[in-house]
Each structure stands twice: as C-alpha cells, then as structure tokens.
C-alpha cells in the first residue's frame, strides 16, 4: 500500500477514533508512524486537518470537509476490492446508527456472530436516540422507528411492532389500575421515545377512543423512559418487544390488553443519493433474518 493511501486510511481512522494511539493500534502501526503520515499529508495539502491536544484529537473545518470526500473514496475502494475478490468477505468499516434500546437489545447480541462471519470488517455502532444526518455523519445504515418522511428514498422495512401500555406494580398500587381508556385521565403519562404523542388511540371491535395523555414527564430516550416507568413515575406507551423482558420479570404490568393501540414500524435507512455499501446491505439482511428468528411471533410481525 502506498504511503499516500495509507495516510488517507490513517487520517480517517484517527478522525473516527479521536486518538492517534487508538487508531495506530487498530491499524497495527506505531504511533510515531501514524503521526508522521498525517504530518506529511497536512504538509502536502497545505492545511491543518486535526487539532491535537493532550486529551483528544478533533477535526478542523477543513478536516471535516476532507474526511467526507476521503471516506467516500476509501469506501469505494473497499467495495471494488470486495467485488474483485468475490469471496463474500467484507472489509473496511460500517457505521451503524441506532437508538440505545435497539442497540442494546437487538444489535449487540447479534454482533458476535456477524463479526465472526466478517472478521476483517470494522464495526462502528453509533448509539443515539436523536436522529442523525446520515450523509454528514458518515452513517452507512440507521435503524429508525415510526413513520418516515416522504423525502426518504432508500429504506427497507424491518418490521411492525404492537404498541402497548405498561406501568410499575407499585405505581398501580398507589394510583389504581385503569379498567378502560376513559380512566387514564386520572393517571400520569411518561412520554418517551419515538412513540411519544399528544394523543393515544384505542380500538376494540367497532369502538375507537382517542385520549390525550397527561404527560408529567417527557424523555427523548426510550431506554430512560422504561427506567422512569419502573421507578413508578407514570404509565408508558412503548413497543411490545421493548417492554417484553420487563413484563416477563414482573417489573412492569401490561395495561388494557384487550384494546388495540396500533403498531410502530421499524426501517433500515441508507443514505440517499448513493448506492448502499455492500457491508450495510449484508448487515441489514443479517439483521432481518435474526429478527425473523425471534420468538413470540404471535405478537411480533417481522416483514
């Protein structure tokens, strides 16, 4: 590999890792070698790409722009090598973005098998409950819940999950257990994650009721919302799979099971305007198969 190509790969790795030592270790280089390659690259470009401090390494504005172009070129090169080899072995890196609850409950448990199948692939898991700009942040595939904006062109449906209500047993002991949607007006709601809404809709046979939850607590992250519910701060609306373990352990109690509250969709999103990376496509196919293998198919519909 030429020094220039190696310098580009080192720059991209340092930018992602935020550390020369970590990037050098991952690439099996000495730290002085990694520093020298970047110094030569900056001298050739006549621009400072990285700001170095004793604690971290961050990108300059020029470095951010350069990384966007360089990473695209490196990804294209990795894909070309993958196609020529035709071995099915994935190389390079894949950046996967997901919410904390989906990352911890679904993605992390399947990563050992996926990474064993592709040992030369470097996986970066971005755990954020806020939505990312896929192109600006270099995300190869993001897992999103809820309805997608019309402008999103490249998406693959992963599944549809039933929505259910739940509360902690000690909350119900203090405030009572609602026997119907109309009794929810006297309860506190925890509005958390992608299903947080100003209105809850209930259906049963030919009946349909819309209730405005009295939210005493709003939380952007689903996982934190579950913890708040366990602490007895109110009633939460969430997808059944995210609540299943809590319900099985008795930490939460399902409410109004005879009423249908609809479902929430989950999609894998690829950056628009460019072909999805082979590693991203293969990961999503692997994820879909694992989701199909989940038990409890009577309450979890996977497409």
- What is the pLDDT at residue 159? 86
**Which region, left, alpha or beta, applies to residue 243 given φ > 0 means left and ψ of -120 to 50 means alpha?**
alpha
9 phi, psi to nearest 5 deg? -65, -40
CATH of 159-265, one of 2.40.30.60, 3.40.190.290, 3.40.50.620, 3.30.70.360: 3.40.190.290
Q: Can you read off the two tokens belonging to residue 35?
A: 């520093």
Instruction: Tell whether the torsion through CA atoms of 275, 281, 283 and 284 is positive or negative.
Output: positive
Q: Does domain 1-77 fall into CATH 2.60.120.10?
A: no
At residue 181, does pLDDT exceed 90? yes
Residues above pLDDT 90, as percent of the chain: 34
Note the pLDDT tens digit of each residue in 46-55.
999 998 887 7
At residue 129, does pLDDT exceed 70? yes
130 phi, psi to nearest 5 deg? -95, 150
**Alpha-carbon span 99 to 167, nearest angstrom:** 22
Query: Is 262 within 8 Å of 201 (Cβ atoms)?
Result: yes
As annotated, the residues of the chain forming the CATH 1.10.10.10 domain(s) are 1-77
Q: What is the mean pLDDT of the chain?
A: 84
Highest mean pLDDT among 5-19, 122-136, 229-243: 229-243
As annotated, the residues of the chain forming the CATH 3.40.190.290 domain(s) are 159-265
Which residues lie closer than 8 Å to 143 by C-beta, 6 or more apart?
96, 97, 98, 99, 102, 107, 158, 266, 267, 268, 269
């Amino acid at each position: 590999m030429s020094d220039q190509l190696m310098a580009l790969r080192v720059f991209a790795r340092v930018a992602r890792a935020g550390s020369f030592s970590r990037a050098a270790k991952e690439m099996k280089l000495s730290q002085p070698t990694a520093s020298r390659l970047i110094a030569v690259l900056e001298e050739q470009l006549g621009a400072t790409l990285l700001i170095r401090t004793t604690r971290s390494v961050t990108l300059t504005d020029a470095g951010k722009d350069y990384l966007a172009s360089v990473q695209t070129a490196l990804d294209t090169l990795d894909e070309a090598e993958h196609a020529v080899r035709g071995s099915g072995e994935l190389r390079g890196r894949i950046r996967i973005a997901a919410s904390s609850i989906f990352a911890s409950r679904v993605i992390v448990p399947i990563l050992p098998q996926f990474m064993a199948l592709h040992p030369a692939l470097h996986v970066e898991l971005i755990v954020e409950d806020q939505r990312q700009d896929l192109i600006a942040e270099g995300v190869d595939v993001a897992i999103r819940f809820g309805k997608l904006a019309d402008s999103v062109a490249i998406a693959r449906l992963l599944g549809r999950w039933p929505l259910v209500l739940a509360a902690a047993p000690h909350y119900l002991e203090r405030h009572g257990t609602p026997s119907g949607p109309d009794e929810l007006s006297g309860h506190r709601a925890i509005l958390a994650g992608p299903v947080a809404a100003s209105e809850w809709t209930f259906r049963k046979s030919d009946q349909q009721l819309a209730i405005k939850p009295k939210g005493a607590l709003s939380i952007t992250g689903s996982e934190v919302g579950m913890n708040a519910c366990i602490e007895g701060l109110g009633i939460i609306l969430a997808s059944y799979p995210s609540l299943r373990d809590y319900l099985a352990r008795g930490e939460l109690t399902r409410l109004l099971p005879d009423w249908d509250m609809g479902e929430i969709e989950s999609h894998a999103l690829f950056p628009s305007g460019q072909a999805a990376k082979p590693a991203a496509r293969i990961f999503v196919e692997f994820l879909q198969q694992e989701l199909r293998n989940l038990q409890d198919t009577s309450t979890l519909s996977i497409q």
